Every structure is written in C-alpha cells, then in structure tokens.
Structure 1
Amino acid sequence: MEFISRQRMFFVGSAPLSGEGHVNLSPKGYDAFRILSSGEVAYLDLTGSGNETSAHLQENGRITVMFCAFEGPPNILRLYGRGEVVLPGTEAWSELAPLFEELPGTRQIIRIRVDQVQTSCGFGVPLYRYERDRETLVKWWEAKGPVALQAYWREKNRTTLDGLPTPLGKKLQEEDALKVP
C-alpha cells in the first residue's frame, strides 16, 4: 500500500473475450487512485478518446493495474482483479466520488476487487524524475464545458474499437430514448 501511494502514474490493462478484439493498455496520472481496503481499490476515470476498459469490464470484469517504480529502488507491482464501472448518479458514485478531487472531464470511477497481487524486480525500468502533472487535459475540458463533454461522450465513448457497448454508452442511449417524443 505504501509503494502504491508513492506512485504518480499507473497503467490499466483490459481485454475483450474475443480473441480478435483489441487488448487495451492505458496510462493514468493525476491523484486518481485510491486504496479502499486491503482487497479493493478504485480510480477516477477521466474522459479520453476511447472507453475500452469500461466495456471490457462490463463484458468480463477482468482488469490488471500496474505500478512501476520510476524513482527509488526498482519494483513493479501488479493488481489482478475484477472491476466494475461506477457511473454518476448511482449509489456507489455517491459513496466513492467524495474520495477524489473533482476534475473536469470526469467520466466514471472504476472499482476493482483485487484477487491477486504480484511484484517483480523492475530492474529494466528506467529512472525518471517527476516534474508535475500535465495541465492539458484539465484545461481542455474546462474550456469545453459540460455540454461539449456530453457531446464528446456521445461521439467517442459509446462503443469500443471493437464495437462493444460501454456502460456510459448505454446510459446515454437511455437518456436519449427519454427525450424522443
């Protein structure tokens, strides 16, 4: 837990059940990762150009989170588990959202039940020095605003590269159906 709390970056891996589907690997930054208990973690998922992880979790639940020591002694730590997507407006959202700083472009929270933890040496991971978080993503969403965010979700985050529906996409579809006279 101490090692995780010192890391400023982590990677998330997921994949669809189909052997033809794309494996997804996403780097994550900001102060967006929380340890909920010894067997449960969560991260704040910000809007990006894709929404692969959420659809993979909806389909099969499998997820891996990896932390690498880029400073200090070498280490790689992987959390293997089953994840779920927590969307705004749900009871789970009300429980988890206060644990995170509210950031523009927040899309969902990914909650993971960890079933295995593995470490490896990390001897081949280079040393890097942390400067600061990039401000680009937050500034971009601040400039766009909530209406543009919703439009972006409708255009880019409803399905995966492989055409799998995302939980956010299903929610948007339900909202759109309510608007039709």
Structure 2
Amino acid sequence: MPTGAPLALFPLHTVLLPGASLGLRLFERRYLDMVRDCGRNGHGFGVCMILDGNEAGLPATPAAFGTEALIEDFGTGDDGLLTLQVRGARRFHVNRTRVRDNGLIMGEVEWREADLDDSLRPEHALLATVLQHFLEKIGGEHSKVSNARFDDAAWVGWRLAEFLPLDDAQRLSVLQEDDPHERLEMLLRLMP
C-alpha cells in the first residue's frame, strides 16, 4: 500500500508488535465486515492501542501508531463467535481518521520504513542472552529459531518488547521508535 493509503483500524487495549501473534474474537458487524473485506482484497487491517474508549460499542480513540495485522488463521469459537489468529507485520503512523457509517474507523496511514538487517551491537549482547534464556523457559514458536536470529537487532528488540513485563504505554513507545538500536536502548532502560 502506498503512503496515505486507507487502512481499517481495530482499536484494542493492547499493542501488536511486528512478528507477534494475537488471538481475537469478533462479534461486532463492523469488524466482521472488515475481515470479509480483508479476505476479498488480500490485505490486513491495522491494530492500534486505545487511548480513550472501549473495544466494543462507540468508536474508540486509537493511538497514532499501530501495526498491520495479517490474518493467519480463523475459525469459530465454542460461543459461535469468529476467532482470528493474526500476526503483526508493518508499522504505520495514522495521519488522519474517519468513521464509516457502520462505526469502523478508517485511517489514512503512512507506512514506516522496514527494519534494516542490522547486527546486534556489543553493548546489547546481554539482551540477546536474556531473550534466549527466556525463550528456553517459556517455549513456544520463537524457542526453536536459529541462533542467527539472536544477532538480528530488530528481531531481538521486538521479541523482548513482546515478552518483557511492560505496560501498553511502554510497548507503544517502543513501537514508535524507528531505529532498532535505539529500541534496544529503550528496552535496557525499561527492564525491571
């Protein structure tokens, strides 16, 4: 999508990070329509943290930064609701929003530059070690990655931001930082 491209926004009380997985349950017509449109057009939707409001009901006020959510799987829960498994992809900045008649928030977004394949700097080597130990303990999809991933500054930063006990405002600050090495510096300051 080019700069200034329209993107359907799904405000949530969470921050979706690039590479992170998120499960969703949908029941509101506006989001069911959004998913149908995503399937038809082969694109994702934007997840932004809620600054004011709620996930259901009246449209909430979304943060100006978010992450594109790509649908990896869908199904129906025991309660009959649509379930989605999405993965965070590209980051974006919302320049302006408008609300459709059905309550769906559409954002005019500017896509952020993709992370460079920069190697971890020596001053951040401890962060890769912390992440490796953490992933060994919790397991999951990231626990079986190649050792080369632990030398990728952007990947280490995103995974630490995903798994460290940060609050959503802190995660949003990390999401807004364009430089992977600056992100790692932020995480060093935020580590408990």
Q: Which has the higher helix share?
A: 2
**TM-score category (smaller protein):** under 0.3
Taking structure 1 as the reference length, the TM-score comes to 0.28
Taking structure 2 as the reference length, the TM-score comes to 0.26
